[in-house]
């Protein structure tokens, strides 16, 4: 069974940066769609960023210009670089990777941005 492990979440001041990692127990390639979601308490889970097999990256409007999604297939790891963090970015961040028709989720990593 495939497992995903997120890491990199932390407490950071507004304007700071973090890089989240998503390590997969199976090989990933450009054929695998990868995405990052986030969920704050009492709110719906939100798609933040995704990268397709064709290499196209997409972002929710609120993070455009600040966040960058990437993957390193040699390490079977995806990343979310987050710059100029704002208190509204505070949430649990989840990695999702698709193998064929099946989506796999990590357990999340907490990002807290203080003012």
Q: Which two tokens stand for residue 99?
A: 């193998």
**Closest by alpha carbon to 9, among 18, 71, 17?**
18
Q: What is the pLDDT of residues 18-37, one digit of tens each?
A: 999 999 999 888 888 999 99
pLDDT digit string (tens) for the chain, length 115 residues: 789 999 999 999 999 999 999 999 998 888 889 999 999 999 999 999 999 988 899 999 999 999 999 999 999 999 999 999 999 999 999 999 998 889 999 999 999 999 9
> Residue 90: its pLDDT value, please?
98
pLDDT of residue 22: 97
- C-alpha dihedral sign at 77, 81, 87, 89: negative
Question: Burial code of 15-54, b = ≥16 C-beta within 10 A, e = fewer?
Answer: eeebebbbbbeeebeeebbbbbbbeeeeeeeeebbbbeee
């Amino acid at each position: 069974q495939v497992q995903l492990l997120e890491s990199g979440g932390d407490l950071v001041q507004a304007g700071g940066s973090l890089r989240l990692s998503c390590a997969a127990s199976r090989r990933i390639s450009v054929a695998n769609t990868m995405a990052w979601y986030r969920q704050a308490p009492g709110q719906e889970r939100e798609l933040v960023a995704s990268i397709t097999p064709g290499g196209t990256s997409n972002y929710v409007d609120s993070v455009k210009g600040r966040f960058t999604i990437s993957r390193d297939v040699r390490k079977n790891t995806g990343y979310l670089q987050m710059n100029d963090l704002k208190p509204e970015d505070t949430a649990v961040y989840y990695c999702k990777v698709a193998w064929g028709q099946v989506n796999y989720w990590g357990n999340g990593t907490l990002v807290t941005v203080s003012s």
